[in-house]
Structure 1
Amino acid sequence: MRYKVSHIIRVDYEPPVRVAHFNLRLMPIDWPGQRVESYKLAIDPLPEKREERAGAYPFNLTRVEILKPVKTLEVRSTFIADVGDAQLDLAVQTMSIADVAQAALAERDAGLMAPAHYLFPSRLLPLVPEIMAWARPQLPSDADCLTGGLALARAIKSGFVYDTKATEADTPVEDAFSIRRGVCQDFAHVLIVALRSVGLPAAYVSGYLRTYPLPGQPRLVGADAMHAWVALWCGPQRGWVGIDPTNGVLANADHLVVGMGRDYSDISPIDGVFVGGASQKTYNSVDVSPIDARLAVS
């Protein structure tokens, strides 16, 4: 699948801020089966300083400083990507949960993709006893790692309600789990806590998802949104596999990876600090459109 992706973030400040320092994590990383080209990042107003570098986890970081009064900040990220389906044969049994947990502890790799970084509690994802008690009976130690992880994702899909008004970006994972409602960020966080509770390395993936209009309805430009799912480490041979608990599926050619971290706080698309301004409103517009005309009407 070949896509053109456009993401616009606009922040309105009232009153204007005097100085703004912020981080952007919008440039997609290299990922197996995904090839990105023609990436552009435009910032208005033009910053006095702009620095691009690799992040502390698998993400690309752009650091920006604006040293003049700003009432409206607009960021435009655009790129073209080719994405292929994951070539996985689920009929082939892989390592058990116990064996993967043991292999993760034995790994000596210290790179950004090393499983050790994603084994333990992180800033937004402590060990939650209620999630652990719910997950462990569904993840027996002798079960196939990938099969168990996907089954748990499908349990979230069937047992939780997608509700954009139920949670905020800073809602604790235990609260989202308690009400069984939320959005993709919440469902990814619940799944990560569950997988880590049995010793499985699990990471938070931020990216884009191609969405489909209802039958007979036109596709609305700008109606898509950023998406979140989970990467599960399934042992040294199979490596990282994407699992989408919002949709109860493996990540496929509809999923475009931007970055990976321990939780949302590692790879939020924009954050930072500013001086002045009493309030702000943020507007997002995302469009993920197939380039091939034959795919656009599927």
Structure 2
Amino acid sequence: TPFLAAQAAKILGLGEECVLDVGQDDKPWRIDLDKLEPALKEAEKNSTACIIAISSGEVNTGRFATAIFDMPKIRSLADRYKAWIHVDGAFGIFARALPKTDQFLSLRACVAGMELADSICVDGHKLLNVVSFLSFFLYMFSTFYLLAVLICVNPGAAYLAPPPSSSAAGSQEDGIFGPLNIGLENSRRFRALPVYAVLKSEGREGMEAMFSRMVFLARKLASFIHNSEHYELLPETENHVEEDIFMIVLFRARNEALNNVLVDRINQTGKMFVSGTQWQGRKAVRIAVSTWRVEVERDAKYVEGVLREVAESFVEA
């Protein structure tokens, strides 16, 4: 989102004024290619370096910045204007692991071409259900260049010297880069182990099945909310399209008084937990389905019961 991009720009010392929103007017989570090229052209004219930040699973709606055939066009523009493409794939990138069936064609189209990005970041603690400090950074180019930029190599201590087959930068042309030389922390835990354990235990088929259950539950809840007299499914669309739903369900109460306290009312039941957010200047509620324990019919019935209970028991002061 533009807000998170501005936060990142401030942390990096670039300043939030360098962030330009190129989202579509009617679908702000989608990148507008007609806005992107003029922005890149203006940056080139001013000799300004550009990063095209693409959201693969927007934090509020779970929607995607790109659709099928968008990434080749963005790659072409980036090459023409010498821009860097970065994908925030926190959880949305896992749509690439969904089964190749008609039920998931729309979602898979949204992440098609992500391999064309220069860099991708991914969170393991969401869909993989591992510890929260575990994330990945995927980088298109040789790690040697990343090492040169980060200056992470330990050049002085003899006992930290790279193997004989490695280059002076501590990297192997066709091998595995030493973990010591690709991060700032020398003393750190084996953070990759939990992810390895998940992937090893579940395998490709197990991961596909797990992600599928999450999507099916989110879609079932979205349909319930869409048809509910008490709630409104967000973003507002003329028709609810089930295939657009990934892992996140965004909604609000139709009763404004209930909407103002909806997050607390749901969480106070002790039966489920939701997070509050803002959508188009008003309070909204966000359900994020992210657990390997999902049983679609059971869990949908449970959540629907909680939402009915909260709405039907609400009495305005």
Q: TM-score, normalised by structure 1?
A: 0.22
Pick the structure with more strand per residue: 1
Structure with the greater alpha carbon radius of gyration: 2
Pick the structure with more helix per residue: 2
Report 1 or 2 for greater relative contact order, CA contacts < 8 Å, sequence distance ≥ 6.
1
Q: TM-score, normalised by structure 2?
A: 0.21
